[in-house]
Amino acid sequence: MGRLRSDKVAIVCAAIVVIFILIAVFAPLLTRLFGVEVRAGDPSTDTDIFNFPVIGPPDHGFTWKAPLGLAPDTGDDNLAEWLYGARTSLMIASISTVFATLIGITIGLVAGFSRGWLDRVISFVIDVFLSLPFLLAALAVAPIIVLRFSDRPGLLKWATFFSLIFILIITGWMQLARLIRGEVLSLREREFIQAARVMGVPTRQILFKELLPNMVAPIVVSFSLTLPAIVTAEAGLSYLGIGVIGQPSWGQTVLKAVPYFDTYPLYLYAPVLGIFVLVVALNLLGDAIRDAFDPKTRR
């Protein structure tokens, strides 16, 4: 921890991440502070005959009424969408990462500690999951879910939200499971584990009290590197149309903004910059955490 604190890059990145988290948590408060609202656009009054917003960029100057402008076609406020998009992104990323990590740890521990057939079965399952083309599966699943809940928009919002999280969890746990399995295989032969067995410590306690504390470093590192990967994946999937529907998200905004890039670049820059800064900060922070845990990899 002390080593992490002396790392300037880590401190800056941690600050950026904290700011993003605060934005996500206080999104309703911030929107009220700026006097903007989500999904408040009215195409008939907020857009002109070319479907471009009547106030703010790209045709008019900066206005505090809409600091990031309004969206073309709908007239929704970009800042409000961006703030709530940060919320969606971080929520999906953190929920998926937490569950993927938990699943990875449990399966890795069980596989590593059980010799013989169970280990072989679990390793096989991990291999199978790693070889599945998840993008294709997700592309196939998305229309089914949209069709299934299309008549109930309230449900559709959550159905797409949770199916996205589900897809991200399913794709995210294998790497960590393999890592943990390898760590357990090497730690299991250490004498303190044998000492615990001689003392008659129950297996569950050996796994979670003796082994797990020794794997905090790889778990934290994996967590901090999975988080940005999932933020990008979420945005990417949303861009492909598999993302959340019915609530703001950066990926959705990117999808909508791409056709307007030549006429209204700010519309696209806002979400892209959000994703870029958050992912870079998380990645650098993850690297710093790994370096702090393992002095041997210091640059």
Partner 1 sequence: MTESEVAQQSAEQPTPGIVPAANRTVSSGRRAILSVTDLKKYFPVKSSGLIRRTVGYVQAVDGVSFEVAEGSALGLVGESGCGKSTTGRLITRLYDPTSGSMMFEGKDLAKLSAKAMTPMRKEIQMIFQDPYSSLNPRHTVGTIVGTPLRVHKVVPEKQVLTRVRELLEVVGLNPEHYNRYPNEFSGGQRQRIGIARALALQPKLLVADEPVSALDVSIQAQVVNLLRDVQNEFNIAFLFIAHDLAVVRHFCPEIAVMYLGKIVEIGERESVYNHAHHPYTQALLSASPDVKQAAIGGRRERIRLEGDVPSPINPPSGCRFRTRCWLAQDICAKQEPPLLQIGKTHKVACHFAAELGNHPAKPITAPLLGTDDQGNHAPGSSPVEFSTNPGYDETWFDLKTKTFGNR
Segment contacting partner 1 by CB under 8 A, of 36-44, 60-68, 176-184, 205-213: 205-213
Least separation, in Å, of the C-beta of 100 and partner 1? 24
Nearest CB to partner 1, comparing residues 150 and 186: 186
Segment contacting partner 1 by CB under 8 A, of 27-35, 38-46, 67-75, 184-192: 184-192
Tell which one of 94, 106, 114, 214 touches partner 1 (CB under 8 A). Answer: 214
Tell which one of 2, 50, 154, 191 touches partner 1 (CB under 8 A). Answer: 191
Q: Considering the rule CB under 8 A, would residue 115 count as an interface residue with partner 1?
A: no
Q: Considering the rule CB under 8 A, would residue 216 count as an interface residue with partner 1?
A: yes
Nearest CB to partner 1, comparing residues 60 and 197: 197
User: DSSP string of the chain?
Assistant: -HHHHT-HHHHHHHHHHHHHHHHHHTHHHHHHHHT--TT---HHHHB-TTS-BSSSTTTS---TTSTT-B-TTT--BHHHHHHHHHHHHHHHHHHHHHHHHHHHHHHHHHHHHS-THHHHHHHHHHHHHHHS-HHHHHHHHHHHHHHHTTT-HHHHHHHHHHHHHHHHHHHHHHHHHHHHHHHHHHHHTSHHHHHHHHTT--HHHIIIIIIGGGGHHHHHHHHHHHHHHHHHHHHHHHHTT-S-SSS--HHHHHHHHGGGTTT-HHHHHHHHHHHHHHHHHHHHHHHHHHHHH-GGG--
Total binding residues for partner 1 by CB under 8 A? 17
Tell which one of 136, 213, 262, 299 touches partner 1 (CB under 8 A). Answer: 213
Least separation, in Å, of the C-beta of 201 and partner 1? 5
Binding residues (CB under 8 A) for partner 1: these are 190-192, 194-202, 205, 210, 213-214, 216
